[in-house]
Amino acid sequence: MTEYSILVVDDEPDNFEVIEALLPSDKYALHYASRGEDAIACLNIFKPDAILLDVMMPDVDGIEVCKRIKAMTLRQAIPIIMITALSGKEDLARCLEAGADDFICKPVSGIELRARVNSMLRLKQQYDRIRSLSKLQNNSIALLKNSLNEIRGSLDFTFPGELNVSLHSILGNIQQLGSKLEDLNNEEVKSLLSNAQGSAQRLDRSTRKLLMYLNLAIETPQPRIADRCLAQTIIEEIAQRRARQAGRPLDLILDVENAELQVSDDRLRWLVDELLDNAFKFSPEDTTVEVRGQLIDNAFHLWVIDQGSGLSDNNMDRSGDLSGLLSDKPDQPIPQDEYSRIKAESNGGVGLGLKIVKKIVESYDGLFLVSSIYQHQTTVHITLPLASTVSRR
Amino acid sequence: MENIQQDLSLATTDTVVGGEVTGRETNSPTDAVGNAESPVVLLVEDNESNIQTIASYLRAKGYQMLLAQNGYEAIQLNQEHRPNIILMDIQMPGMDGFEAIQHIRQSSHSKVPILALTALAMAGDRTRCLAAGANDYLSKPVKLKELTMTIQEWLSHNEGSTDRDLN
């Protein structure tokens, strides 16, 4: 049974004994103070759910104690029942004016005492419930505000660039087709169309990334126990495909231990795909892209190391004719190394890639670290949780 | 409140001055003990809320209170102030009640009545309390009326036979 904390304040200990005999100890934990000042000073210790307060006391009387407690912001919600020998209307009015929630006239009867105490406890519970609810709401609002600010930042900084690059490319190609159609030969038309199609595909991919990012940012996914996948198979498969697509199968170095991860198959694929897309995109041909996976200290560590600069110089080519349209915007503080890569990405049209990786890793309480040796090497290091036990190597 | 704080500081400092024991004198002790000066109760308890409740109640009943929050303080205060009776909580951090009772029984003020306060769930502890040297036990949550009655009983038992008067 729930135990309610009841503070009895009465200068006569015998009166406490009466109340003690009337309230069963399995339901109520009784505390006692013989003086008003003591009662006020000990509220922190007793943490009462209700107070039974004698009116007639020497020094500080019950009315005064009641007034003082009701003036305390943190304590005013504690229901106070005044116990009084006086039953004149004026006396009762004085109690209510002092802020008392209820009163009981002496001699105290058990039935009345329990009924009034319980009704006050009900009030207190309702109050507590409302307060915890409003606390919860405030927390949710703060959380939403943070997510919103983050999304706003990403949208301001990253997304317009992504859209612009692809859209301008599509528009540019179509305009050329429209204005010079008569002068162009078949090959040139095909080339312009294929450029436009490539850009449309990039736009499509950017849009899907944005959706993925928004999903992750708005509703942080809760990891589920059922989320399991085999690291080695997925990482090798995706890394090899990315290397082939980049036309650099020989540049890939794979050294991944196998482990069963507490990560959903789908998210690991997104994550690895973004990391390798990034690595191949921003490193020169005929330089290595190394993918290393190791079990250390009960976590899976994944490193993707490329020989790219981490700066935007070498990806300007990829962003085509339109790279000049993008100004170097100042942005919110991101560590220098991470900043350059994310910015570089943005110019290339895949600015959300690393942010998605980061979000996914964070949703599993993992580490996300980007480090660069200036114009020489970039390493992304992440950790992911293992499924209960370590599986075969 | 000053009295409570005084008692608490008494219990937590190592240097205890005898004069502080007096606490608040109430005009008319309601207890049945025939002593001219009001009896001194040593309460050994670590739970702040129990300390406040029991101490203010017994003080209002006319007793003088001595407070200790663990076994070591209890042994020391018993030596120095020779209380008329000890209320001993059994579950305390550091030296627990059993050990403290055994030490007190071997001290120079060894015959003081000791009432052990035990949690209801600890049925086996009661026999251990008595074996350790407690005179009686009360289960928690302690009814304060029952507590005073038991205290009065043991004080009248021990009247004249306590070695408090010998020193």
Instruction: At B51, list the tokens.
Output: 């300390």
- The span from the CA of A359 to the CA of A212, in Å, is 10
CB B154 within 8 A of CB B115: yes
Partner residue opposite A31 with nearest CB, options B4, B53, B143: B53
Please tell me the predicted confidence (pLDDT) of residue A65.
Answer: 96
CB atoms within 10 A of CB A115: 12
Angle at A42 between CA A41 and CA A44, to 5 degrees: 105
Average pLDDT over every residue of A170-190: 87
Whether A34 sits inside 8 A of B59 (CB atoms) is: yes
Q: Of all residues in chain B, what percent carry a pLDDT higher than 90?
A: 50
Of B1, B49, B61, the CB nearest to A13: B61
CA-wise closest residue to A352 among A246, A290, A273: A273
Per residue in B96-137, pLDDT (tens digit) is 888 999 999 998 888 899 999 987 666 677 788 888 899 998
How distant is the Cα of A29 from the closest Cα of chain B, in angstroms? 8
CA distance A219 to chain B (A): 44
Question: What tokens were used for A379?
Answer: 């390493």
Burial of A365 by CB count in 10 Å (0-12 exposed, 13-18 middle, 19+ buried)? exposed
Chain-chain contact of A12 with B60 (C-beta, under 8 angstroms): yes
DSSP for residue A3: -
Percent of chain A with pLDDT over 70: 86
Question: Which residues of chain B does A37 touch, with a Cβ-Cβ cutoff of 8 Å?
Answer: 1
pLDDT at A145: 87
Interface with B, mutate which of A45, A46, A49, A51 (most B CBs under 10 A) = A45
Residue A32 pairs with which residues in a beta bridge?
A8
Given A13, A21, A29, which is nearest B141 (Cβ)?
A29
In angstroms, the separation between the Cα of residue B134 and the nearest Cα of chain A is 25
Q: What is the mean pLDDT of chain A?
A: 83
Check CB contact under 8 Å for A20 and B141: no
The pLDDT of residue A242 is 93
Neighbours of A174 (CB within 10 A): 15
Q: Is the pLDDT of residue B43 over 90?
A: yes
Whether residue A306 contacts residue A289, with contact meaning beta carbons closer than 8 Å, is answered with yes
Considering only residues A164 and A299, tell me which one the structure prediction assigns the higher pLDDT: A299
| Of A21, A34, A42, Cβ closest to residue B60 | A34
In this predicted structure, the answer to whether residue A280 has a pLDDT above a threshold of 80 is: yes
Which of left, alpha, beta for A269 (phi over 0: left; psi -120 to 50: alpha)?
alpha
Q: Supply the pLDDT for residue A389.
A: 54
Residues of chain A contacting residue B4, judged by C-beta atoms under 8 Å apart = 38, 41
Q: Which chain A residue is nearest to residue B53, measuring alpha carbons?
A: A32
Pairwise CA distance, residues A385 & A263, whole Å: 7
A217: tokens are: 């940012």
A10 vs chain B: nearest CA distance in angstroms?
Answer: 10
Q: Note the pLDDT of residue B150.
A: 95
A46 touches chain B (CB under 8 A): yes
Between A263 and B5, the more confident residue is A263
Which of A16, A29, A45 is facing B52, going by the closest CB pair? A45
For A193-222, what is the mean pLDDT? 83
Q: Which amino acid is at A376?
A: H
Q: Locate tokens 């199968």: which residue?
A: A249
Higher local confidence (pLDDT), A153 or A255: A255
Tell me the pTM.
Answer: 0.58
| Interface check A37 vs B, CB under 8 A | yes
The pLDDT of residue A206 is: 81
pLDDT winner (highest mean) among A126-130, A141-145, A161-165, B124-128: A126-130
pLDDT of residue A224: 76
Can you read off the two tokens belonging to residue A208? 């899907």
- The residues near B78 (Cβ < 8 Å, ≥ 6 apart) are B42, B86, B104, B107, B109, B112
Query: How many CB atoms are closer than 10 A to CB A325?
Result: 12
Q: Check if the interface score ipTM surpasses 0.90.
A: no
pLDDT of B12: 39
Torsion angle in degrees (nearest 10) through CA of A307, A312, A315, A319: 160
Q: Model confidence at A344, in pLDDT bands (50, 70, 90)?
A: very low
Whether B18 shows a pLDDT value over 70: the answer reads no
pLDDT of A35 reads 95
CB distance B56–A33 less than 8 Å? yes
Cβ contacts of A213 within 8 Å, gap of 6 or more = A154, A352, A355, A356, A359
Cβ contact (<8 Å) for A31 and B143? Answer: no
Q: Is A108 helix (H, G, I), strand (E, B) or coil?
A: coil
Span of A79-88, A216-225, A266-275, B27-36 with lowest mean pLDDT: B27-36
Helix residue spans in chain B (DSSP H):
2-12, 48-60, 71-81, 97-105, 123-132, 144-158
pLDDT confidence of residue A334: 37
Residues of B within 8 A of A42 (CB-CB) are 1, 49, 52
Three-state DSSP class for B99? helix
pLDDT of A141 above 70: yes
Gap between the Cα atoms of A212 and A204, Å rounded: 12
Residue B16 clears pLDDT 80, i.e. is over it:
no
User: pLDDT tens digits, residue range A11-42?
Assistant: 999 999 999 999 998 899 999 999 999 999 99
Q: From the list A14, A25, A45, which residue is nearest B48 (CB)? A: A45
CA distance B12 to A257: 59
Using a CB–CB cutoff of 8 Å, tell me whether A313 touches chain B. no
**Secondary structure of residue A337 in the 3-state scheme:** helix
Instruction: Let me know: does A54 contact A148? Beta carbons within 8 Å.
Output: no
Of A231-240, B8-17, B153-162, give the lowest mean pLDDT range.
B8-17
By CB atoms closer than 10 A (0-12, 13-18, 19+), residue A161 is: buried
Maximum average pLDDT range among A81-95, A138-152, A292-306:
A292-306
With bands split at pLDDT 50, 70 and 90, how would you rate the model's confidence at B159?
low
Percent share of chain B, pLDDT over 70? 71
